């Protein structure tokens, strides 16, 4: 028969099973448990650590009557352990079975798993990765979590203090609501663990489209809201440690918002395309699109040139640098309102300049992300999600195919490569005008490619007026298109704006028509053979 549920709301913790790979905080937890009269049962290295800490501990082998065997693979997979975790304390049949077989109840399970994710991250070989797949740990966690009506399960050292506070508040017991939350955390942990194993195995077997695909994350922060105030949101890290907003140190400013995180990621991924060894580069992002990208002899010059592409849009934007932030650049940035600055480092002098701007967030990383690195990108659609390789495609000057009568000059070629790099990070349809290593017009996200061409040219005219130059900045520029020109009209519009050279993938049915239009205007045009759609 089942007894009333309310009698199990508070459950006293009398026996705990501890088996952890990460020994952080273990002794402090164990001492506190012993002080509250909890009996400790443990395995292998955990038991050794507890004994060396002067604590009384029973071996699991004593509980089960079986020694640890097979290199520790078989130690907790036993009815004495799983019976102690799974038995319903309010079920008479379960209690009879426990008494008949000498099964002692386990009220608290403290387990963290073999470091599988860390083993993969350090590039271990196949056999080492297999050996670091935990079996007993997840089995016990899942058993204890299922029986959260009576059992507490802790899978992370960061929850040790929370557990002790709960037990102290309840004279050595825990509440049902508390155990429910522990079970949720535990199931999330085993789900993430299995996701990591399956993702690694798919990669190891070069399985590009496994039958089932799982992604997992760990909470980094809750957010005040999502893209809009009526949307709830949170930020999760995926464990890859790719340099960027997830790994950055925030020096000042209020908490990042959903849109800040999204835009900062876009900015840093773009600026990382420009090798710091080749000189300073700066990208300014607004609504995930660049409104200015430039190189310069100094970082302050790169910022100023990026700012001059579209000063209006830069207001309240995100700024990413490919070299550490210096004082001169920091002073220039503080002249207008900026949401976030991210860079691979910042000098103390630069940080001091920013300290006066309380709302400006400064983030620093230890390095830039590798734009050539492999990885997966995924996007939700109704009823599922799309998964693809990260766009790490690159083109070298030697890969370009000149299709016009006129060859590009060396200066044009440098700008063409710059424009192509930026195009990869602009929402489609994307058109980018570049002159002397700086964008001078960006057209993004239009349904018609010719419209993107016109918008970018028009923005250039507006900035020419604002800066006080006599002609649009696109005069003498080059232009990049993220996909082929389906008709000659886009190319003709670019030529009318003053562009002298074009870079595009090629591959249109009307390539001949587009090439003829370029030749008729004395333009140089190169094909990349690679497209960079970004939606």
Residue positions annotated with a catalytic role:
146, 287
Q: Judge contact between 81 and 66, C-beta under 8 A.
A: no
d(CA 479, CA 501): 6
Map 426-461 to HEC letters.
CCCCCEEEECCCEEEEEECCCCCHHHHHHHHHHHHH
Q: Judge contact between 79 and 103, C-beta under 8 A.
A: yes
Find, among 218, 249, 254, the residue nearest to 234 by Cα.
218
> 324 — phi, psi (to 5°)?
-55, 145
d(CA 376, CA 363): 25
SS3 223: strand
The number of angstroms, rounded, from the C-alpha of 365 to the middle of its chain's C-alpha atoms is 14
Burial 444-476 (b: 16+ CB within 10 A, else e): bbbeebbbbbbbbbebbebbbeeeeeeebbbbb
**What is the CB-side half-sphere exposure of residue 144 using CA atoms within 13 A?**
32
Q: How far is CA 361 from CA 145, 243, 325, 339, 341, in A?
A: 40, 17, 13, 6, 6
d(CA 431, CA 532): 11
Q: How far is CA 443 from CA 74, 480, 526, in A?
A: 62, 10, 20
SS3 170: coil
Greatest pairwise CA separation for the chain in angstroms = 96
Q: Judge contact between 282 and 293, C-beta under 8 A.
A: yes
d(CA 270, CA 395): 15
Q: What is the DSSP string of 485-529?
A: -SSHHHHHHHHHTT--EEEE----TTHHHHHHHHHHTT-EEEE-S
240's tokens: 């890859």
């Amino acid at each position: 028969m089942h007894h009333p549920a309310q009698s199990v709301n508070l459950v006293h913790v009398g026996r705990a099973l501890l088996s952890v790979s990460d020994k952080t905080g273990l002794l402090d937890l164990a001492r506190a448990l012993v002080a509250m009269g909890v009996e400790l049962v443990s395995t292998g290295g955990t038991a050794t650590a507890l004994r060396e800490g002067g604590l009384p501990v029973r071996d699991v082998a004593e509980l089960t009557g079986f020694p640890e065997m097979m290199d520790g693979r078989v130690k907790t997979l036993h009815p004495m352990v799983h019976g102690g975790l799974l038995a319903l304390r309010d079920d008479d049949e379960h209690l009879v079975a426990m008494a008949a077989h000498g099964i002692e109840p386990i009220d608290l399970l403290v387990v963290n798993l073999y470091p599988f994710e860390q083993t993969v991250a350090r590039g271990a070989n196949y056999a080492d990765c297999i050996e670091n797949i935990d079996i007993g740990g997840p089995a016990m966690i899942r058993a204890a979590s299922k029986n959260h009506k009576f059992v507490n399960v802790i899978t992370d050292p960061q929850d040790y203090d929370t557990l002790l506070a709960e037990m102290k508040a309840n004279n050595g017991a825990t509440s049902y609501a508390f155990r429910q939350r522990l079970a949720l955390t535990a199931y999330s942990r085993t789900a993430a663990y299995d996701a990591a194993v399956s993702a690694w195995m798919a990669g190891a077997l070069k399985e590009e489209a496994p039958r089932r695909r799982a992604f997992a994350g760990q909470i980094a922060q809750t957010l005040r809201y999502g893209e809009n105030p009526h949307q709830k949101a949170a930020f999760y890290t995926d464990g890859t440690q790719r340099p960027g907003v997830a790994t950055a140190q925030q020096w000042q400013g209020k908490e990042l918002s959903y849109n800040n995180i999204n835009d900062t990621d876009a900015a840093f991924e773009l600026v990382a395309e420009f090798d710091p060894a080749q000189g300073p580069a700066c990208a300014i992002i607004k609504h995930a699109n660049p409104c200015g990208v430039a190189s310069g002899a100094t970082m302050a010059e790169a910022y100023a040139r990026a700012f001059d592409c579209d000063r209006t849009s830069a207001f309240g934007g995100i700024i990413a640098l490919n070299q550490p932030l210096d004082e001169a650049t920091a002073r220039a940035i503080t002249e207008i309102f900026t949401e976030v600055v991210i860079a691979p480092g910042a000098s103390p002098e630069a940080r001091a300049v920013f300290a006066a701007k309380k709302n400006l967030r400064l983030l620093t990383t230890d390095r830039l992300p590798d734009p050539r690195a492999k990885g997966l990108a995924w996007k939700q659609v109704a009823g599922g999600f799309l998964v693809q390789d990260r766009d790490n495609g690159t083109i070298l000057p030697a890969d370009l195919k000149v299709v016009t009568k006129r060859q590009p000059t060396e200066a044009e070629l440098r700008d063409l490569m710059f424009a192509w790099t930026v195009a990869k990070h602009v929402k489609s349809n994307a058109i980018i005008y570049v002159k002397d290593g700086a964008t001078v017009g960006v057209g993004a996200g239009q349904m018609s490619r010719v419209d993107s061409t016109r918008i970018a040219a028009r923005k250039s005219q507006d900035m020419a007026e604002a800066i006080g130059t006599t002609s649009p900045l696109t005069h003498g520029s080059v232009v990049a298109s993220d996909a082929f020109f389906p008709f000659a009209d886009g190319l003709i519009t670019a030529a009318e704006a003053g562009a002298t050279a074009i870079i595009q993938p090629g591959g249109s049915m009307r390539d001949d028509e587009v090439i003829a239009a370029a030749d008729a205007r004395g333009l140089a045009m190169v094909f990349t053979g690679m497209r960079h759609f970004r939606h």
